[in-house]
A and B are shown apart, each in its own frame.
Chain A
Amino acid sequence: MSNPIPSRKEVIEDIKNRGELVAAVLPIHYSRALLRCFSIYPVEVWGPPKVDVSLGGAHLQPYVCSIVHNALSFLKMGGLNAADFILIPHTCDSLQGLTSVLIDLIKPEQAIIPLYLPRGQREEDIIFLADEFRSLYTRLSELTGKKPSSKDLLAAIKREETSDLLLAKLYKTRQQMGLSNLDFYRLVRSREYLPAEHFSTLAEETLQTSTQPRPGIPIILSGIVPEPMEVLNKIDEMNGQVVADDLACCGRRLYKPGISPEPFRRMAERIISAPPDPTRGNPIEERVKYLVEMAQNSGAQGIIFYEVKFCEPELFDLPNLRNSLKEHGLASIIIEVDINNPLPHQVATRISAFLEMLDS
């Protein structure tokens, strides 16, 4: 990559220096375009890893995942002070619980904005989500005093669509790009906080640089988020090559362009069109079909389910999902991590043994 990718901190500083607004957004699905047309820049909070969790621990049960524990601890230590709003999609019970803890007990200075998501991909779900976006529009209007027009909304949507098409192109050509696993995910994960136009420039530049494809045992990475990112280096060292992913922060958000000329419906269409995701209630059969096709198209020989400990929506499906994948000849392994801990030696051994198994 020719230009270095700015860090989350640098991006936030830049936005604040320009006097604009920042929304801290928790996982997973929301509309970036809706925030952007109010000149609010979304910066996503996937944890972050390695914070003092004792601060959040006082309000949460021990069996709540480390993403939520860390997010709350990070907020309490002042890590979200730069944010003007906190948007929390109701992805799972843990995030729903976090919303209540914040609104009822902690009452931070920033407005807490919940976003309800439907659990399906039917027409009713599109209608429901479009209505949710309309309510969110009203709330943001009250908070900012702005009233962006339909034209503004559509322009913001199209900017995000362009960025997502480039993201999809990066995914499509990843095997020819010759990036290490870590470099590839640094790049695609910058979509979590870079403004769409900035990400698009970065993606275009990367797509123009041609390097040698990297060899390695081809695998799919599934789960919520590849943290600690050190795991990607380990996979590199062990001669593994992530050729496709089913990660909530990345591949499960390859949103297609919408169809409708009505902006709220178009935003909803985009989210609903995303790949199957257990947090959106997709049945296991759909995930099996999707993962089997992903393996066939990418040449992946196996799947690493790299899971955040206590992530209920992910872990609930895994036994049946893995059995079905096995029937389709696709080997898999579950690795459970606490994003706060350094990568344990045992995790490296399991991944290494899995790659040896695929290689034999």
Chain B
Amino acid sequence: MKIAALGIDVGSTTVKMVGIDAAGEIVWHHLEPVDPRVEKQVDSFLNKLKQEINSLNNIPLIATGYGRNLVHQAVKNITEITCHAKGVYHQLGHGGTLIDIGGQDSKVIVIGTKGQVVDFAMNDKCAAGTGRFLENSAARMQVPIEEMGTVALSATEEVAISSTCTVFAESEIISMIAHGVEIEPILMGLHRSLIRRVVAMVRSVGLVPPLLLSGGVVKNPAIRKVIEEETKEQVFLPEHPQLMGAYGAALFALKLMAS
């Protein structure tokens, strides 16, 4: 394994590191839940990689994500908007409108025909519209987060969740459960509520097809289905949806090295 450049994405829930070869292909990656002591965690990532490849000399690292400024081992930091666009474009070979739903924010990025960011919108002020909305609700209903999507899709009906605020949605859920409403329709309603907020962001920048999806929540099958229903567009996924920010950062590191 020959690593030419590294990228790290310090998100609000997970840290992802990607190593790429000189051709820009992902040859190594590692993902862990985020530790508040970011610098120490990055050291442990780098040590782990060092054990596998012996030396990290002359391998540039670029950091992205919410905690990018805390990665002092990086030669540069670039925002997650630019890195996600770069990673997704490189992996899929075309632009479009990318939805990335993260733990603490969600973003919509219009990627141009040359991979450049044309426009973007971010929801970073409120947990509604982010992965945290589902996490909180899953915890309330005692459904494991990884099963949430499947349980939601097994619903034969759906209830509307009127609260767009995570805290109020929780009270609404409790009240519904108290009134005997089943878990499955509530879960489906929660997915719809989250996605409608995200789709509003898509509309604010203007949907340029195809619709692309990245981020940890893509493992949830209900998310993809509801996005397709709400936008009437087919959704395309890159091969490593959770790694796109780190991958983009690594591609920038490779470019930096070449220059």
Contact = CB atoms under 8 A, between A and B. Distances in A.
Are A and B bound to each other?
Answer: yes
Interface of A: 319, 326, 331, 345-346, 349-350, 352-353, 356-357, 360
B117 interface: yes
Nearest to A360: B116
A350 B122 contact: yes
Q: Which of B79, B105, B116, B124 gathers most chain A CB within 10 Å? A: B79
B62 to A, nearest CB: 12
B105 A353 contact: no
A94 B204 CA distance: 27
B124 A356 contact: no
A229 B9 CA distance: 30
Contacts of A349: 66, 79-81, 122, 124
Contacts of A345: 66
The 7 A-B pairs of least Cβ separation, nearest first, read A353-B81, A346-B124, A353-B79, A357-B117, A356-B82, A360-B116, A352-B79
Contact of A346 (B78, B82, B105, B117): B105
Majority-rule SS of B interface residues: mixed
B43 interface: no
A357 B120 contact: yes
Interface string B141-159: 0000000000000000000
B229 interface: no
B44 to A, nearest CB: 24
A357 B125 CA distance: 21
Interface of B: 66, 78-82, 105, 116-120, 122, 124-125, 204
Nearest to B119: A331
5 contacts: A346-B105, A349-B80, A356-B78, A357-B118, A357-B120
Contact of A356 (B66, B81, B105, B204): B81
B82 A353 contact: yes
Contacts of A352: 79
A349 B119 CA distance: 14
A326 B120 CA distance: 13
A220 B101 CA distance: 30
B124 A353 contact: no
Contacts of B118: 331, 357
Nearest to B105: A346
Given A346-B105, A360-B82, A353 B120 contact: yes
A326 B206 CA distance: 11
Q: Which of A350, A352, A357, A360 gathers most chain B CB within 10 Å? A: A357
A357 B82 contact: yes
Contacts of B120: 353, 357
Contacts of A360: 82, 116-117
A360 B116 CA distance: 7
A319 B81 CA distance: 21
Contacts of A319: 204
A355 B23 CA distance: 28
A350 B125 CA distance: 12
